[in-house]
Structure 1
C-alpha cells in the first residue's frame, strides 16, 4: 500500500484490522500518541487529505493513495507553524502528551474559521488532564503569557525548555523510540475477585508461533513488596508478589506471555489453561473489618509485613484524642455532625503506564519507564530480583501525566522478569482499560465529622472518623490515611479533638496515591461540616475560618500535643488567601439564568510542602567548555513544571540565558539520587538542591576567574583579557573582584584546565505549609440538577512565585481535575469487584466545555525554607475545590450534598426530595 506521510512517499502493508495510529508508529512517527485507542481523547490526531481524524479508529487499509500530515509535518522546532507558536507563547501544555493532537485540531480549517461559541464543540474530542484548558484557550486566541527566549529571570514566566519540541511532537515520551528485536508482554488476568490457582498449563500458549515465554509464579522470586514507592520503603506494607498463587481482585496477574507482537501475546494468554478455587470475597470495607469476614492477608505477619491488623483486614489505623471531645461537645452552644462519601477516581492521565527493558552491551539491565520515581523503582527492582543497584539503570523520558498514579511499580517488575528470563528487549504497555481496571485508583472514603462551637464561633471540639477502602493491596493505604487526617484537622485550633481512622482491605481494585494524597476526601467532609456550623451560628463562613485557623506560633498537631513535628508556619499567607478569595467572589460574575437557584460557597485547605520523613535530591552542575551549563537532576518531568523552574534557578544564579542550561533528568545514571516527583517536592526539594549547586558553581567560577585573571600568560605578565557580553555590558575577568559583576562563563570555561562542577543535596526537612482558599458562585437548575459555575476563584499561598504562568497553570489544572471528581468522575463497580467504567467515554473527565476560567490570586509571602522563598503548589490546588463547590450548591438548593461526585441526577434528587418535604 502506497501513501505519503508529511510529504514523504511511504509503503507499508497493514495487518488485518490494523488502525492508522499503530501503522504510523511502526513507521517511527512517534508524534502520534496513544491515549485511549477508542477515539475519545484526540491524542492520536492527524490530518488525512486535510481532514482531522482520530488515527486510532481510522482503518489503516483506507490509506492507499492518501496523504497523512502529523503534527511534526506542520512545523519543526526551528520553524514552528503559527498555531504551534501560539501554543508555545501561551504555555498551552503541561505534560504535553495531548498537545500533538490538540494542535492538529487547532490547525484545522474549521477551527481557524470558528467563533468562540463553536470552540467547545470542536474540541470535544480532545482531552487534556493537566492544564484546565485556559492556556489552550489562550493559545487559540493568540494570547502571549510566556517570556521570549533569551531572557527572563526569577518571577518571569519563562517558557518550558522543551516547548518547541513538545508542540512539534519531537519531544520523546516513554515509548517514542525504536528498539531492534523488541518483544511484547501481555497479561492474563484473574476472572475472579478472590481465588486460588490450583493448576496452570501453558503448553498450548508456548506452542504458538512467535511466543518466547510464559511467566508465572514459578518463574518469579517469592519476595513480598509494595507497589507503592516512598523514600522509606517501610512506610508501605509488604503484601504483594510479582505473581501470587492467591488472587485478590478481578484482573490480578495470573500469568504473562512474551511474544513477537501484542496480538500474539494476547492470543497466547487465551490459550493458558488455569484451574481456580474460588474463595469467599468481601467488597464493603465496613463488612471487611467485621468479625467473620474473609481475610485477604490473614497469612501475613503484622510486624514483619507492617499490616496493622490482618485479622480484621485493617492495613493501617489511627485512634487518638487530644483533650476531651465529650467535654468539648458538652460545653458547645452549637453541635453539627454528618457523614460524607467519596467514590473511586481514576488518574486518567493521557499516557498509560508503560515500560521497556533490555540488556545493554555490557549485559546490564536497562528499564525505560513512565514513572514519577525512577530511583525508587531501581532500588525496589534490585531488592526483588537480588540485583546489585549498579547492575540496573532506570530512567524516564518526558512522562505523560501522573498525579500520583505513577508513584507505583506496576509494569517495571514484569518487564524486568521478562528481560532476565528471555534475554530479549521487552515492552509492557497498559491499555486504557487497564488504567481503569488494574491500575490504582483514588481511595474511596466514608468520613464522619462532628463539630462543636461556642456562640462566638470558637471551636470547642472536633471528631473525625474515616473508613478508607484500600482495595486488595495496601500500597499507600497507611500514608493516605495518615496524611488525609493530618492537615485537614490540624489547620484548625481546637482544644478537644479525636481522630479514628482505618484503611481496610477489600477484594476491590487496589487504591493508591492520588493528587492531594487523601486530603481531598477528608476535606470534603470537614469543610462541609464547617459550612453547616457557620449556618447554625448565623456567621459568615470566611469569618468562622478566620476565628479558628492556625496562626504563626500555634503547634501543628492532630491528636498528640507532644508529638515532634518538622512542620513550620513559614511565610504564613492563609489570612491573605481568605481576604483575597472573599473579595473576589463578592464581585459577582455571570448571572444565574431565570428559574435557576444561585448560591455561594468556599473552603480552605492546608498542605505540607513535601512528604514527611525526608525527601532527598542530589544534583550536579557542570560548566562545559562552550560556556553552557549541564544540569543533572533526578526529578521526572510529567507536567509538574520542575524542568522549567530548575533551569530558571540555574540561569538566574549564573546570569545566563535559560537556553544555555542543558538539562539531563530522571536517569539513575545521571544525578546520584532523587526520591521522586511526588508530594510536590520537585520545586522545594530538588529545586533547593539545584539552587544550592548553582550558588556553589558561581563561587567556583568567580574563584577560577580571579586565578585565571592574575595568572601570567604568554611572554608578558598580562592578565587574561577575555571578555563576554551579558545584557549589553562587557566584563573582563579582572572585574570579578566585584561580587556584583556578571560571570564570564565562556571565558572561564575555555581557559580553565578542567570543567568546573558543583554538587549539592537537599533533604526536604524541615517542612513548611501551603494554603489554598477556593470560592464559587454557582447556579443550579432545579428541573435537571445541572450545576453551572458562574464564578470560580482560588487564592494560593505559594511563597515566592518563581514562574507566574506556570504556577497559575498548576492551580488551574488542579482546579479542573478537582471539578471532575466533584461533578462527574466515578469509577463504578458492580458490587462484586468488577469495574464497569472501562473507557474515557464512560468516564467523564472535564472537557474544554466543562471548565470555567478560575481567577487565580497569590498571597504575598516568602518561605524561608524553600528555594528563593518558594512553596510547592502542584497538589494543593485540588483539595479545597470539592467542598467549596458543595457548599455553594448547598447555598443554592437548601440541602446538603454528601456524596461525590455531585452528578446531575444526584443533585436533582436532592432538590426533588426537598420539594417533597423529605429532608
Structure 2
C-alpha cells in the first residue's frame, strides 16, 4: 500500500491484522508510543487525514492512500509548532511519555472546542502532571509561576538568573524540545538488528506445584529459539525489590520456579522471532499441576492451619519473621504505657480503616532489551534503579560486574513500580541462553495483573485526648497484605508506621504491625511507601476527635504536632539520622487554613440533594530513604569549554535532570545549557542507589553540588598556577574565570584533555518535609457523587529549586491521590484473579476529574538539602485521601472508612 507519513510517501506492506501503531514503529517512528494497545490512553495518537485516531486500534491496511501525521510532523523546517512550544513553556509534561499523543490530539482543536477541553482530551491520559500544565499549554494561558525564593538577594539579578537556569528559577527541562517533538527515546525506542521477542506462559492457578512440563511442541514451532522453564533457572533466591541493602527484602523468588504462588506467575518463557510466534508457542506448552491449598485473606493467613505460601523457606536464610505462619515481618513496640494514656483521656476515638490495591499506571510499561556486546551483557531497561539491578543480576547469574552494563533511557513514569526486577531477570536468562538480543515488554494487562501494586492495609487507630485537645495516647494496629511475594513488604510496613506516628508528640504510643503472605498478586513499592495508607487512618481519627471535642482540626494539629526541637518518636526515639533540618509545618497549616477560609468562589451545584463540607489533613515524610542512599557524580570541563555531568540517577518524570543542571550551573556560575548530562548508566557514573524515596535532589543533587564545588577549586588552582595570582581570587564566570582585570577562558583552562572532579553523598542524615492538604467538596446525597469545589496544598519544600516543576510534582501527586481516594481499585474475585484487567475498567483520573489545586509554599531553608532544598515528589500524595475523606464526613455526617470512596460506597453510607 501507499500512504504519506509526515509528508513523505511510503510504499510498504502491512502484515495481516497489523495495527497502524506497530506499522509506524516498525518504520522507526518511535514517537508513536504504546501505553495500552486497547485505545484507552491515547499515547499512540496520530492524525489520519487530519483526524486524531488511536493508532493501536486502527488497522494499518486501512491507511491506504491516507496522510498520517505523528507529533514529529507537526513542526516545520525543524522548528516546533506553536502548540509544541507552548508545552515547553508551560512545562506541560513530566515523564513525557503521553506528550506526543496529547499534542497530536490537541493540535486539532479550534477555539470553540477549547470550551469543551475536558471532553476533547478525554481519550488522552496523563499520570504525571495533574493536567493543569497541559491545559495551560493547550489554551495558551500559561503564566510564569511565582518564584518564592530568588537565587540571589539582589532582585535586579533575577531575570539574568532565570535566563541562566540557576537554582530558584523555572528553567525548562533539558529534553523539552525532544519530548514535545517525539524525538526523546524511551526504553524500546531503538532498532536492534536480529532482535528476538519473549513471551511468558502464566499460571492459571493461585497455588500449585508443577509436576510435568512438556516443551517439545513449542520448541518445534518455526521461529522459536528457546523455551525456558524452572529447569533452566538459576537456583539463587532473590527479591524483585531493590534497596541499597539487599537484606532489606526477603529472598523468596526465583527467575522460574516449580511452585507458582499467584495467578499469572511465570511458568515458562518462549523466545522467538516475533511476539506472535512466542505467544503461539506458549500455548503449545503442556503443563501438569498439583494444585495446593491457597489463602487470600491476610487475617486468615495468620490463623493456625492456614495454607502456607512459603512454608518451604528457611526463616533465617530468606529473612522471614515466620514462614510457618505466613508472617513476612512484624513490628511491635511501645513508648510509655498506652493503657495509662487511655486512662488519662476524657475522650477516646477508635476505628479501622481499609485501603485498597492501586496500580501505578505509569504510561510506559515495564520493558527490557538485552544483548551481548564485546563479551558483555547489556540491559537497556525501564528501571528507577539501574545500579541495583546491575548488582542483583550479577548475583543471580554469577556474572562478573565488569561483564554487565545496565542503563536506562528516559523512563515513562515509575511511582515506585520500577524499583523492582520484573523483566531484567528473564531477559538475562534468555540472552545468555540464545546469545541473541531479546526484548520483553509487559502488556497493560500484565501491568494490571502481575506487576506489584500498592499494599492494601487494614489500619486500626485508637486516640485518647484530654478535654482541651491534648493527645494522651496513640495506638496503631496494621495488617498488610504483601501478596505472594515479600518484595518491599517489610519496608512498606515499617515506613508506613514511622513518620505517620512520629509527627505527633504523644506521651504514650503503641504500634503493632504485621506484613503477611497470601496467594494474591504481589504488592510492592508505591508513591508514599506505606505512609499514605497509615496516614489515612490516623488523620481520619484525628478529624473525628476534633469533632467530638469541638476543636478546629487545624488547631488540634497545631496543639499536638511535633515542634522544631521535639524528639521524633514512634515507639522509641528515632536515631540521629533523622532530624528536622527545617520546620515549615506551622506555615503550612496557616497557609492551608487561610486559603480554605477565603474560598475560591466556586459554588456547589444547585439542588437540595447537594451537601457541602470541608476537611484537611497533615503529613510528614523523610527526605530520603533510611539506612543509607548513595550517589557519586562527576563533572568534567571539556576542551570546548562546556561541562559534562555524569550522574547515575534516572529521569522518569521526577525532574531531577533539570534540577541537576541547575545545581551545576549555579555552583559553576555558568548557564544550564552549557551543562550536558550523561546519566542512569552503570558505564557513565560510579554509583547511584537509585531514583526512589525522593532522593534525586537530596542525595544525588548534593553529589552534583559537591562535584561542581570540587571542580571550581581545581579551576582556581589551575588559574593560580598559570598566573601566580591567589587561587581564592579567581571567580567563575559563564565562559571562564576572572581575577580582577585578568580573564582566563574555560577553553584555555581545560586544555586538550579537560579537567574532571567528583563528588559523593551518602544520605547518612535525613531531614523531614511537611505537607497539609485541604478540600471543600459537595456530595450528591442521591447518587453518592463527590465533587471537589476547592483543593489546596501547602508544602514545606525548603528552597524551591524549580517552582514550575515543583508545582507540577505537587499537582501530579494530588491528582494520583484523588484517583486513589475516589476511583481506583485493583479488584480481585476472592480467589486471586484480577478482574480489572484493562484501563477502561480501572478509572484513572482524566482532565475532567482533576480540579486545579492551589499550591502554597512555606518559606524555609533546609540545613541538609543542596541550597536548602527538600524533596517534594512523594510527600504530596500522602495527606490527600484523609483530607478528602474528612471533607466528605463533614458534608454527609457519616465517616468513610474504606478507599476508594466511590459513588456506590458513599451512597451506601448515606443509607445508614
Paired residue for 1:735, among 710, 732, 740?
A: 740
Matches within 5 A, 1:328-339: 328-339=341-352
Q: Quote the residue 1:488 is aligned against.
A: 500
Q: Quote the residue 1:159 is aligned against.
A: 172
Structure 1 position 735, deviation (Å):
3.3
Structure 1 position 281, deviation (Å):
0.4
Give the secondary-structure state (helix, strand or coil) at the position aligned to 1:794: strand
> Is the 1:654–1:743 Cα contact (8 Å) retained in structure 2?
no
Distance 2:330 2:910 in 1: 37
Q: Quote the residue 1:279 is aligned against.
A: 292
Change in 2 beyond 3 A, CA 1:78/1:154: farther
Tell me, yes or no, if structure 1 residue 180 matches structure 2 residue 199: no
Matches within 5 A, 1:10-409: 10-75=10-75, 78-108=78-108, 111-142=109-140, 143-145=142-144, 150-360=163-373, 362-409=374-421
Structure 1 position 734, deviation (Å):
4.4
Change in 2 beyond 3 A, CA 1:626/1:311: same
> Is the 1:706–1:734 Cα contact (8 Å) retained in structure 2?
no
Distance 1:700 1:453 in 2: 59
Distance 1:68 1:407 in 2: 37
Q: Quote the residue 1:577 is aligned against.
A: 588
Distance 1:117 1:461 in 2: 52
Distance 2:845 2:197 in 1: 33
Q: Quote the residue 2:623 is aligned against.
A: 609
> Is the 1:709–1:734 Cα contact (8 Å) retained in structure 2?
no
Structure 1 position 31, deviation (Å):
0.1
Change in 2 beyond 3 A, CA 1:731/1:69: closer
Deviates more, 1:655-664 or 1:181-190: 655-664
Structure 1 position 620, deviation (Å):
0.5
Distance 1:318 1:150 in 2: 51
> Is the 2:128–2:653 Cα contact (8 Å) retained in structure 1?
yes
Q: Quote the residue 2:842 is aligned against.
A: 843
Give the secondary-structure state (helix, strand or coil) at the position aligned to 1:586: helix
Change in 2 beyond 3 A, CA 1:881/1:76: farther
Distance 2:110 2:744 in 1: 46
Structure 1 position 591, deviation (Å):
1.1
Q: Quote the residue 1:916 is aligned against.
A: none
Distance 2:408 2:428 in 1: 15
> Is the 2:638–2:753 Cα contact (8 Å) retained in structure 1?
no
Distance 2:34 2:226 in 1: 26
Structure 1 position 655, deviation (Å):
1.6
Distance 1:311 1:559 in 2: 27
Give the secondary-structure state (helix, strand or coil) at the position aligned to 1:865: coil
Q: Quote the residue 1:511 is aligned against.
A: 523
Q: Quote the residue 2:538 is aligned against.
A: 526
Q: Quote the residue 2:558 is aligned against.
A: 546
Q: Quote the residue 2:667 is aligned against.
A: 653
> Is the 1:724–1:746 Cα contact (8 Å) retained in structure 2?
no
Paired residue for 1:697, among 711, 717, 725?
A: 711
Distance 1:232 1:449 in 2: 31
Structure 1 position 270, deviation (Å):
0.1
> Is the 1:724–1:747 Cα contact (8 Å) retained in structure 2?
no
Q: Quote the residue 1:912 is aligned against.
A: 911
Alignment length (residue pairs): 891
Q: Quote the residue 2:746 is aligned against.
A: 745
Distance 1:732 1:102 in 2: 45
Change in 2 beyond 3 A, CA 1:115/1:5: closer
Change in 2 beyond 3 A, CA 1:758/1:537: same
Give the secondary-structure state (helix, strand or coil) at the position aligned to 1:648: helix
**TM-score scaled to structure 1, two decimals?**
0.95
Paired residue for 1:687, among 680, 698, 701?
A: 701
Change in 2 beyond 3 A, CA 1:531/1:381: same
Tell me, yes or no, if structure 1 residue 453 matches structure 2 residue 465: yes
> Is the 2:405–2:682 Cα contact (8 Å) retained in structure 1?
yes
Q: Quote the residue 1:469 is aligned against.
A: 481
> Is the 1:665–1:671 Cα contact (8 Å) retained in structure 2?
yes
Distance 1:549 1:904 in 2: 33
Distance 1:766 1:77 in 2: 51
Structure 1 position 557, deviation (Å):
1.8
Q: Quote the residue 1:718 is aligned against.
A: none
Distance 1:550 1:287 in 2: 37
Q: Quote the residue 1:719 is aligned against.
A: none
Distance 1:891 1:489 in 2: 24
Distance 2:51 2:599 in 1: 42
What do you get for the CA RMSD once the two structures are aligned? Answer: 1.7
Give the secondary-structure state (helix, strand or coil) at the position aligned to 2:617: strand
Q: Quote the residue 2:887 is aligned against.
A: 888
Q: Quote the residue 2:148 is aligned against.
A: none
Structure 1 position 116, deviation (Å):
4.1
Structure 1 position 685, deviation (Å):
0.1
